[in-house]
Amino acid sequence: MTYQGPCHTVMYADDTVITLAENDSDSLTINTERALNLTKEYCAPNNLVLNVDKTVQIIFNTRIKNTETTVGRLHEYKTNTKYLGVTIDSDLSWKPHIDQLCRKISSGAFLIRRLRQISKPEATKTAYYAFLETHLRFGIATWGGTSATNLDRVLIQQKKAIRSLVGLEQRESCRAAFVEQNILTVVSLYIQEVILHTVSTEQLRHRDI
């Protein structure tokens, strides 16, 4: 699917993202309508259906706040939306994603605390990797560049989980526990994932050459 204009399309499985960049809302409205019409024209002969209920519009704008540009009634304007498991917000602050992540880690910490009472340390640590670190790692190369305040919120929840894992009291330091358990903090995970992504990207570039 091609479009002669300031539009870029990303397709993954049955999810499609159309991105446009304009300097004013009028041009954005016109080109959004063109892109959506093209999408509908592409879907019809290819036995595809555009799911209107799941089609949303999000505007990334650092200069003008609360700008809504909707085309007819085809889609809904939102300040944040989930894409491939990561919640993206219009300010790219990643705060909505961090909010959800902290709730998941808090629930995971509760599970770890209960498991420690009935399971062996090895099983409890396996549960940590399965129910907490998987959430921490998922998409962290993208959202990990959020503010220090947001990362601190995640780290606080992670520390609670580590204390539950090794049986520390609420106010005890868990710095040594990270080292002893060979577990990375959320900041270290972010650095690691960015390095791995950079290395893999460079390898692909050299392969193309």
Q: What does the DSSP assignment read for 165-189?
A: HHT--TTS--HHHHHHTT---HHHH
Beta bridge partners of 89: 80
Does residue 168 form part of some domain? yes
Does residue 85 form part of some domain? no
Contact criterion met (CB below 8 Å) for 25 and 67: yes
What pLDDT, on a 0 to 100 scale, did the predictor assign at position 5? 56
Each residue's pLDDT tens digit, 99-135? 999 999 999 999 999 999 999 999 999 999 999 999 9
Specify whether 57 is located in the same domain as 103: no
Does residue 145 form part of some domain? yes
Specify whether 54 is located in the same domain as 134: no
Q: Identify the helix (H) or strand (E) that includes residue 158.
A: helix 148-166
Say how far apart CA 23 and CA 21 lie, in whole Å: 7
Specify whether 52 is located in the same domain as 133: no
Over its length of 209 residues, how does the chain's per-residue pLDDT go in tens digits? 444 556 788 888 878 888 888 887 788 888 888 888 888 888 889 888 888 888 888 888 766 555 555 554 456 778 899 989 999 998 999 999 999 999 999 999 999 999 999 999 999 999 999 999 999 999 999 999 999 999 999 999 999 999 999 999 988 999 999 999 999 999 999 999 999 999 888 766 666 55
Specify whether 107 is located in the same domain as 57: no
Query: Domain ends where: 15, 50, 78?
Result: 78
What pLDDT, on a 0 to 100 scale, did the predictor assign at position 72? 47
Specify whether 70 is located in the same domain as 102: no
Does residue 164 form part of some domain? yes
Residue 156: which of 196, 105, 83, 206 has the closest Cα? 105
Say how far apart CA 112 and CA 163 lie, in whole Å: 10
Say how far apart CA 69 and CA 94 lie, in whole Å: 22
Specify whether 26 is located in the same domain as 113: no
Specify whether 22 is located in the same domain as 110: no
Q: How many domains does the chain have?
A: 2
Specify whether 102 is located in the same domain as 204: yes
Specify whether 127 is located in the same domain as 50: no
Say how far apart CA 167 and CA 44 lie, in whole Å: 59
Specify whether 103 is located in the same domain as 158: yes
Give the burial string for 62-93 (b: 16+ CB within 10 Å, else e).
eeeeeeebebeebbeeeebbeeeebbbbbeee
Does residue 2 form part of some domain? no
Say how far apart CA 188 and CA 144 lie, in whole Å: 10
Domain carrying residue 39: 7-78
Query: Domain ends where: 53, 78, 103?
Result: 78
Does residue 47 form part of some domain? yes
Say how far apart CA 203 and CA 209 lie, in whole Å: 10
Specify whether 100 is located in the same domain as 202: yes
